[in-house]
Homo-oligomer: A and B are copies of this chain.
Amino acid sequence: MDEIASRAGVSKTTVSRVLNNIGNVKESTSDKVMKVIEEMNYQPNELARSLRINNTKTIGVIISNILNPFFTLLVRNIEDFAQENNYHVIICNTDEKKEKEVEYVRTLINRKVDGLIVATTGDIKNYQQLVGETPIVFVDRVPSEDDRKNFDVVLVDNEQASYKVTKHLIEAGYKNIGFITGNNISTTGYERLIGYRTALKEAKFPIKKELIKSGSFLGHDAYSLAQDLLDNTLCDAIFAANSLILKEVLDAVKDYNKTKERAIELISFDNEDWFDHSSINITSIKQPISDIAQKSLEILLDRIKGSTSNYKEIRYATELIIRTK
């Protein structure tokens, strides 16, 4: 910058003013400076700038699994809205690991992101102290009990969604509906299970422990859990708590059917386009991802601007996509 200043015969204050279009700079001076800037292909150091002005126009997005299409699409939408508002996005991936989440939150805050959108693993105590003054909005998952009143949260009505689809299955005549969820630490798994149980209870169906399995939202152990359901229960439908789990269940059902033959109805929380082409029928729950992205960013930007309104928990309704052959 000093170089530019001296070549243009002005002070670096003036160069700064030209770069930021502020203050009154004579047009001739401005032109002169601009010319030198272009000649030298000068690029300002954003690090120094951010350090000085104390903001980075960047928000951090922490998700649990970038291989989950739900999150990819969420990130994609957040990025689009962020760009419209002149913000950049840094994406981090926790692999559902609490330690990674804590580390990323720290790192991003130390790098002075202006705000954070987080799909939390859910068992972190005292987020308040972790994030300090940095605004944060939770998506998809509610933080731990102590924290949930102190933060904004944007997600879907998991319970209602699970309830709806389970009820649909019962009405369609299924008697033994298996349920494979991720962990019960994240509220997502818990809420989805509740909806399932409520629908069963309402229909006066027994809630059989052996039909309810829980593993990981990464889908890692879902294959063997599904095998277990197929081998040891009379299940005629399996409800997977996300699409990664669904994929494993599908593998298991297909392998099972190589030797035996059993009609199984499959249900997935989260929709993927390829479900339309699956040889085995998959009914799914579709989340309004764009709404979630837009709303969470909207709230975050408000907080960054200094809004101190009450913390909100926003729940969107889901759509049931029935695929019956």
Contact = CB atoms under 8 A, between A and B. Distances in A.
A280 interface: yes
Interface stretch (A68-76, A176-184, A191-199): A68-76
Interface string A252-295: 00100000000000000000111011111000000000000000
Given A66-B72, A76-B67, A276-B251, A109 B43 contact: yes
A232 interface: no
How many of these chains are in the complex?
2
A28 B85 CA distance: 50
A279 B112 CA distance: 49
A107 interface: yes
B72 A76 contact: no
Interface centre among A45, A66, A111, A276 (most CB of B within 10 A): A111
A79 interface: yes
A24 to B, nearest CB: 26
A129 B41 CA distance: 8
B44 A110 contact: yes
A112 B50 CA distance: 12
Contacts of A272: 274
A115 to B, nearest CB: 16
A90 interface: yes
Contact of A47 (B41, B50, B251): B50
Interface in A100-114: 106-107, 109-112
A93 interface: yes
Nearest to A58: B111
A278 B247 CA distance: 12
A132 B276 CA distance: 47
A2 to B, nearest CB: 16
Nearest to A54: B47
Interface string A55-81: 010000000001100001101100100
A141 to B, nearest CB: 20
A129 B93 CA distance: 32
Interface of A: 41, 43-48, 50-51, 56, 66-67, 72-73, 75-76, 79, 88, 90-91, 93, 106-107, 109-112, 129, 132, 247, 250-251, 254, 272-274, 276-280
9 contacts: A43-B132, A45-B51, A47-B51, A67-B73, A79-B93, A247-B273, A254-B277, A272-B274, A278-B279
